[in-house]
């Protein structure tokens, strides 16, 4: 089995910790392989080898991908956007959907899926909500309220759970074909999935970072542990 994972490190930075957190969280056995998708390697075609795809977190998506011309909003990337990464990952995502393989979209990944399906983003949550959601020296923790009619609820088995938070943007207009599976207490959208799941592979998007919940001793919490298990099991069932 091969799992695709988009590369989360910004150009010019050499700290692999964030990317390695995903690899450690997946904890795949030796016979399985993680294919890391990097713009610098132009290896998007390797998605055809994959039984599943994880879209990782990272820098804000360029506003053009959600039909906005506003580039100088509060907390916009200081060193500029990475349009090459946006385009590269949208190409991989579209192919993954075409192949009908499982997709797990995390933080920026959730936002990328929403934008690719004609959704939009709140460019900055504002001072009050950023106190709850935007990271400082580390992630923050808040509650997630899970829709009982959702796949996410089937996976997690709980109506409410703590989750970590490291974002200052969020979904505004929901993308085509999606439903909301979870919200923070303040109403911020924290989970998405297909509204009509018939004949579709596993897909969920989460605004939190399940791969980093070990930092809060929450690595056995269903909102991280069960998501990992369901994604991997779904990928194992794919016949390429």
Give the pLDDT confidence of 50-90 residue by residue, as tens digits.
999 999 999 999 999 999 999 999 999 998 999 999 999 99
Answer yes or no: is pLDDT of 146 > 90. yes
- Write out the two tokens for 119: 């959704």
Task: Answer yes or no: are the C-beta atoms of 211 and 25 closer than 8 Å.
Answer: yes
pLDDT band at 240 (very low <50, low <70, confident <90, very high): confident
Task: Answer yes or no: are the C-beta atoms of 90 and 53 closer than 8 Å.
Answer: no
Per DSSP, what are the bridge partners of residue 144? 161, 184
Query: What is the structure's pLDDT at 30?
Result: 86
Residue 221 sits at φ, ψ, to 5 deg, of -65, 140
> What does the pLDDT average to over 222-233?
97
pLDDT band at 176 (very low <50, low <70, confident <90, very high): very high
SS3 5: strand
Using alpha carbons, select from 74, 66, 65, 35 the residue that is nearest to residue 53: 35
Q: Where are the domains of the chain?
A: 2-236
Structural fold of domain 2-236 = Rossmann fold (3.40.50)
pLDDT band at 14 (very low <50, low <70, confident <90, very high): low
Q: Give the helix/strand (H/E) hosting 133.
A: helix 127-133
pLDDT band at 13 (very low <50, low <70, confident <90, very high): low
Q: Report the 10 Å Cβ neighbour count for 197.
A: 13
> What does the pLDDT average to over 112-118?
98
Residues of the chain with pLDDT > 90, as a percent, come to: 92
Task: Answer yes or no: are the C-beta atoms of 136 and 142 closer than 8 Å.
Answer: no
Residues with a known catalytic role? 107, 209, 211
Answer yes or no: is pLDDT of 12 > 90. no
């Amino acid at each position: 089995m091969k799992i695709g994972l988009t590369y989360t490190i910004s150009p010019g930075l050499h700290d692999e910790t964030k990317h390695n957190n995903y690899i450690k969280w997946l904890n795949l056995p030796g016979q399985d392989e993680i294919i890391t998708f990097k713009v610098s390697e132009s290896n998007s075609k390797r998605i055809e080898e994959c039984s599943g795809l994880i879209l990782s977190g990272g820098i804000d998506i360029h506003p053009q991908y959600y039909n906005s011309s506003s580039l100088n909003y509060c907390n916009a990337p200081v060193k500029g956007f990475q349009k090459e990464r946006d385009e590269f990952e949208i190409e991989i995502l579209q192919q993954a959907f075409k192949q009908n393989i499982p997709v797990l979209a995390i933080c920026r990944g959730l936002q990328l899926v929403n934008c690719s399906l004609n959704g939009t983003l709140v460019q900055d949550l504002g001072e009050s909500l950023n106190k709850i959601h935007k990271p400082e020296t580390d992630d923050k923790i808040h509650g997630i309220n899970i829709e009982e009619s959702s796949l996410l609820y089937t996976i997690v088995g709980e109506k409410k759970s703590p989750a970590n938070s490291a974002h200052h943007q969020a979904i505004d207009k929901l993308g085509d074909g999606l439903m909301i599976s979870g919200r923070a207490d303040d109403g911020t959208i924290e989970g998405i999935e297909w509204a009509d799941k018939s004949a579709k592979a596993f897909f969920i998007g989460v605004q939190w970072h399940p791969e980093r919940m070990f930092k809060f001793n929450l690595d056995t919490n269903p909102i991280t542990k069960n998501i990992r298990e369901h994604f991997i099991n779904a990928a194992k069932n794919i016949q390429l």
